Amino acid sequence: MIRFAGIWTASLLSGVGSSLTAFVLGVWVYQTTGSPTQFALVMLCGLLPGILIGPFAGMVADRFDRRWVLIVTDCLAALPTAAVAALVSTDLLEVWHLCLATAISAACGTFHVTTYQAMTPLLIPAKHLGRANGLMQLTAASQIAAPVLAGGLMVAIGMAGVLVVDLATFSVAVLTLLLVRLPATVLRPNQGRERPAVGADLAWGWRHLRARPALMGLVLVQTGFNFVFAVAGVLVQPLIMSFASPGVLGVLMFAGGAGMFAGGLFMAAWGGPARRVGGMALFMALGSLFLMAHALRPSPLLVGVAAAAFLFTLPVVNGCAHTVMQAKVERDVLGRVLGTAHSLGAAATPIAYLLAAPLAEYLADPLLRQDGALAGSLGAVVGVGEGRGIALVLLADGVLLAALAAAVVLAPRLRTLESALPDAAPQSVTTG
């Protein structure tokens, strides 16, 4: 547990620093260009690496010393941050610099999270895996709450100062990884074993999942959950801005981040239910109700409570899913399987971004104007006027999440996954 705490602290610090940088760079792009398209382009550069290199990251995590995979990728991620800081200080920064820097950082992040999750079941007893995954969700919660801290830091020390803070977190993370003594079987679970060809290794995770339909089903459920979450993530800020000021938006975003942080702490303390797949379905169903509540009326109080409650369920759903994967997949192939799972899950986010906003703006919004075709029917539920098209899409998103929860309960392979598929055999631990 002490070893895990060291690795977790390093990853949390690195994640917080990266979140601060991502926020201030996004502010810079929008203030400099005034272009939502340019802003979306930088966001897209942060999404594509996770889709494209997940299997490669998994192969690296299973082939090489995992401590050095984490250290090298953290150092590589620090390089574009340092370059951007230098460009800011010389007033030479351009949008294409940020696109390149974001892509490199995102690629390094994919290696980091895949390796980190593959190491966890070798550091933590099986009975504590749920708690460990709850703690790991706190990094994501800190990313949502980062704008509050980043905004204050920008005023106090400027954009270049925030980038220096990020570089400092990289340094602390790398130093922690160097100092924590880790078992040899955690670092090199495939030591001494014959390695397949690189091409075969890249497809290993996909073949492993295809041969186990229940695990593939779990990954597809997670992909669907990512899609629902991405739709909500891209629409909730425009929804709030349709009836509230930017100051209220900041408060409500902080409330959402606080809810997610509380959910991570809850999962870390509880460890999750005994039947984790059933727990996923239950908290997805609860999340669907809170997501639909966003759409009921344009009220800051309602949306603040609903956002915090919805995001509270997220760490429990993800923590349960990660724990099942870590428990059921053999330790020596876990990196490759997780890499493939991450690629499938990450692919849902850009699809959601591309579909949700146009659907709300060009289809749902006209239908819910004062004279719109749905003003007298669904308009009685979500209201009519500015922003209510967005509310309708969020309502549909909540219904989709409820359907996903029902599918988990009704699909026999998913419902019986934990009893039908044996746990992976634990590996002996030798210190090295």
Above 60 in pLDDT, residue 428? no
Q: What is the mean pLDDT of residues 263-284?
A: 93
Domain ranges of the chain: 1-190, 203-423
193 phi and psi, to 5 degrees?
Answer: -95, 155
pLDDT of residue 192: 57
pLDDT bin (cut points 50, 70, 90) of residue 144 is: low
Task: Kindly report the average pLDDT of the chain as a whole number.
Answer: 86
d(CA 124, CA 141): 22
CATH topology match: 1-190 vs 203-423:
yes
Task: Using DSSP, state whether 406 is helix, strand or coil.
Answer: helix
Reference 377, options 390, 367, 385; nearest CA is: 367
d(CA 170, CA 240): 34
Which contiguous run of DSSP H or E holds residue 118?
helix 95-123
d(CA 120, CA 134): 12
Task: Using DSSP, state whether 273 is helix, strand or coil.
Answer: coil
Q: Please, what is the Cα angle at 72 between 343 and 164, to 5 degrees?
A: 100
Reference 10, options 172, 212, 190, 228; nearest CA is: 172
pTM for the complete prediction?
0.83
pLDDT of residue 430: 39
Maximal CA-CA distance, the chain: 71
The CATH number of the structural domain formed by 1-190 is 1.20.1250.20
Reference 242, options 389, 352, 44; nearest CA is: 389
d(CA 63, CA 197): 11
Residue-wise pLDDT tens digits, 181-190 = 877 777 787 6
Asked whether the beta carbons of 97 and 83 are under 8 A apart, the reply is: yes
Least confident of 298-307, 350-359, 422-431: 422-431
pLDDT of residue 426: 62
pLDDT bin (cut points 50, 70, 90) of residue 423 is: confident
Name the CATH superfamily, with its identifier, for domain 203-423.
Answer: MFS general substrate transporter like domains (1.20.1250.20)
Q: Which residue has the tokens 């082939």?
A: 63
431 phi and psi, to 5 degrees?
Answer: -75, 140
pLDDT of residue 333: 86
Is 266 exposed, middle or buried, given 0-12, 13-18 or 19+ CB atoms closer than 10 A? middle
d(CA 293, CA 398): 9
274 phi and psi, to 5 degrees?
Answer: -65, -40
Q: Is 14 or 367 the better-scoring residue by pLDDT?
A: 367
Q: Is 16 or 308 the better-scoring residue by pLDDT?
A: 308
Residue-wise pLDDT tens digits, 359-390 = 988 899 899 988 889 888 888 989 998 889 99
Distances in whole angstroms, Cα of residue 207 to Cα of each of 55, 93, 211, 244, 341 = 12, 44, 6, 49, 12
Asked whether the beta carbons of 294 and 238 are under 8 A apart, the reply is: no
What are the beta bridge partners of residue 431? 183
Q: What is the mean pLDDT of residues 404-429?
A: 85
Above 70 in pLDDT, residue 195? no
Q: What is the mean pLDDT of residues 43-58?
A: 87
d(CA 260, CA 373): 37
What are the beta bridge partners of residue 183? 431
